[in-house]
Each structure stands twice: as C-alpha cells, then as structure tokens.
C-alpha cells in the first residue's frame, strides 16, 4: 500500500482560480475530474499519463473504454461509512482488469485499510488526522480471509489455509523476536 503525501505527490490537479479548469492543457500526470477528462479525452495525446477522480456515484461501466489510457483512478469516500467506492474498486480490478494506480481519497481512516487493500486499492490519501503507523498495523491482523478478493481471488476453500496460518505465525514470531532486540 502506497501512502500518499500530498506535498510529494507526482500527480497534480488542474485547478484554475474558479475551480477545475474547464479544458485543461495536456501535461503529464494530471489528475482530472470526470468532466475535465470528458472535455479533453478526444484530444489527449496518446501515452501521456493521465488520471481521473471519480465520485462514488459514477458507473464504472461508462469508463470501460478509457481504462487503458488511465494511470490513476482516485475513488472518493465522502464519509467512511459510505461503501460504494469498494464496489467501484472491485469492478475496476476484477471485471475490467484495470492495472493503474487505484487511490482512496476523502474520509479515509486507518481501519479502512484492510478493506481498501482487499478491494484493489494500492494507494491511500489518509485523512489528515490519521496515523500511518496505525494504518500499517491495521493491515497485519489476519492470516487470510474466507472469501476471495482482488488481492487473493481464491476463496479459503480453494487455498492452502494451513500454509497461510504457518506463514503468519512465522511472521508474528519474527516480529516479536525483532522487538526483543
């Protein structure tokens, strides 16, 4: 999981004085709104990295043809209890085979990390008051899960969960030993 630091982010929004520029000039690593992307899509140079921010009400289906051109999709959590973006993420990865960065933005809390990771997010912009250390710890509690997910498409009944348990125990033992030094 990549933790985004807004001060050192390679991606930039195209904001004018009155909000998003209606027709931004093509440049590398622009993170556009969906409206901006629609405005420039037909003229955007092939191979120039571009990203899109989506509201959680957007039907991913409508973006299918554009996906190979996108290097970043930012999905939004207006409130952390609004889980629509998990379904968007799952569809992007599991159905449309999107391979670019998938970033969670908005009300992103430490305790969402396991869900984000499992539905296909690989980058998060944590809410300002959240601790990265706690977020990393939140990813480490479970050896495996029952149902498959984007990271591990096989459900438990199709995996060797015994080996997963052993690996997790080894990891925990190593961590405990490391703390003792």
Partner 1 sequence: MYAYTDFDRQFVRARAAQFRDQLQRNLSGELADDDFKPLRLQNGWYVQRHAPMLRVAVPYGEINARQLHQLAVIAREFDQGWGHFTTRQNLQYNWIPLPKAADVMDKLAAVDMHGIQTSGNCIRNITSDALAGIAADETVDPRPYAEVMRQWSTLHPEFAFLPRKFKIAITGAAEDRAAIGWHDVGLRVLKNDAGEVGFSVLVGGGMGRTPIIGTQIRAFLPWDQILCYLEAIVRVYNRYGRRDNAYKARIKILVKAEGQKYFDAVEEEFQRILKEDVGGAVQLIPQAEFDRINASFQRPAGVVPVGTAAAPAAAEGAPLAYQRWLQRNVHAHQVAGYAAVTLSLKRAGQAPGDVTADQMDAAANLSTRHSHGELRVTHDQNLLLPWVKQADLPALFEAAQAASFATPNIGLITDMINCPGGDFCALANARSIPVAAAITERFADLDEVYDIGDIDLHISGCINSCGHHHSGHIGVLGVDKDGSEWYQVSLAGSDGSTLSGEATPGKVIGPSFAAEEVPDVIEAVVDTYRAHRTAGERFIDTVRRIGLPPFKAAADAQRHLTAVR
* Nearest CA among 18, 56, 40 for reference residue 30: 40
- Return the number of the residue (74 or 85) whose C-beta is nearest partner 1: 85
What are the C-alpha distances in Å from 127 to residues 6, 157, 180?
11, 36, 33
Q: Are 98 and 150 in contact (CB under 8 A)?
A: no
Q: Among 23, 46, 48, which residue's Cα sits nearest to residue 36?
A: 23
116 vs 38, 76, 168, 181, CA distance in Å? 27, 12, 20, 33
Q: Does 142 bind partner 1 (CB under 8 A)?
A: yes
String marking each residue 152-181 x if it binds partner 1 according to CB under 8 A: -xxxxxx--xx-xx--x-------------
- Identify the CA nearest to 95 among candidates 70, 64, 126, 122: 64
| Nearest CB to partner 1, comparing residues 37 and 98 | 98
Closest to partner 1 by CB, 39 vs 138, is 138
Identify residues 80-139 at the interface with partner 1 (CB under 8 A): 80-84, 86-87, 90, 93-95, 97, 109-111, 114-115, 118-119, 131, 134, 137-138
- Name residues contacting partner 1, limited to 29-88 (CB under 8 A): 80-84, 86-87
Q: 3-state class of 161 per DSSP?
A: helix
Applying CB under 8 A, the site for partner 1 has a residue count of 44
Q: Which helix (H) or strand (E) holds 15?
A: strand 15-16
Please select the residue that binds partner 1; options are 20, 71, 106, 144, rule is CB under 8 A.
144
Binding site for partner 1 (CB under 8 A): 80-84, 86-87, 90, 93-95, 97, 109-111, 114-115, 118-119, 131, 134, 137-138, 141-150, 153-158, 161-162, 164-165, 168
């Amino acid at each position: 999981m990549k933790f985004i630091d807004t001060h050192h982010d390679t991606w930039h929004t195209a904001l004018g004085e009155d909000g998003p520029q209606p027709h931004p000039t093509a440049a590398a690593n622009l993170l556009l709104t969906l409206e901006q992307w629609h405005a420039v899509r037909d003229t955007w140079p092939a191979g120039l990295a571009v990203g899109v921010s989506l509201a959680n009400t957007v039907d991913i289906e409508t973006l299918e043809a554009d996906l190979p051109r996108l290097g970043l999709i930012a999905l939004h959590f207006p409130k952390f209890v609004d889980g629509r973006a998990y379904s968007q993420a799952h569809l992007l990865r599991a159905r449309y085979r999107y391979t670019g960065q998938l970033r969670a933005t908005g009300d992103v809390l430490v305790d969402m990390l396991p869900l984000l990771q499992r539905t296909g997010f690989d980058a998060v912009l944590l809410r300002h008051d959240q601790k990265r250390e706690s977020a990393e710890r939140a990813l480490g509690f479970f050896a495996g899960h029952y149902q498959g997910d984007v990271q591990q498409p096989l459900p438990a009944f199709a995996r060797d969960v015994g080996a997963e348990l052993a690996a997790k125990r080894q990891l925990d033992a190593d961590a405990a030993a490391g703390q003792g030094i």
